[in-house]
Amino acid sequence: MGDYVDRGPDSQATLDILFNRSPQRQLFLKGNHEVFLGNVLRDPSLLTKWLHVSGLYTPTSYGLTPSPTPWGRGTARIGARIGARDAAPAP
């Protein structure tokens, strides 16, 4: 299926539903939006571009105000929440 993030104003609820499901026989496919978010977490220089292509939905669903400054506190918190191993810690 994919595209769990950045597809509307409640990305957090979508991820919470997926994370709270039983882990038995669950397979979640990564869509292009998840790939893009992963790229942003590995390369902060992509943050501004991500915010311009529907990337605002995910941070705002977590009650954050996105900043085009790479590795602002919000971006690191989102990365940690969705399990991104490469997310930088909040300053």
pLDDT of 39 strictly over 60: yes
Task: Name the residue with higher pLDDT: 69 or 27.
Answer: 27
If one counts every other C-beta atom within 10 angstroms of the C-beta of residue 21, the result is 11
Over residues 30-37, mean pLDDT = 86
Q: How far apart are CA 68 and CA 15, in angstroms?
A: 23
Which element (helix H / strand E) includes 11? helix 11-19
pLDDT tens-digit series, residues 44-53: 888 888 888 8
Q: How far apart are CA 33 and CA 50, in angstroms?
A: 9
Question: By C-alpha distance, which of 83, 70, 16, 6 is closest to 43?
Answer: 70
pLDDT of 8 strictly over 50: yes
Q: How far apart are CA 2 and CA 9, in angstroms?
A: 16
Domain ranges of the chain: 11-81
pTM of the model: 0.62
Q: How far apart are CA 76 and CA 2, in angstroms?
A: 22
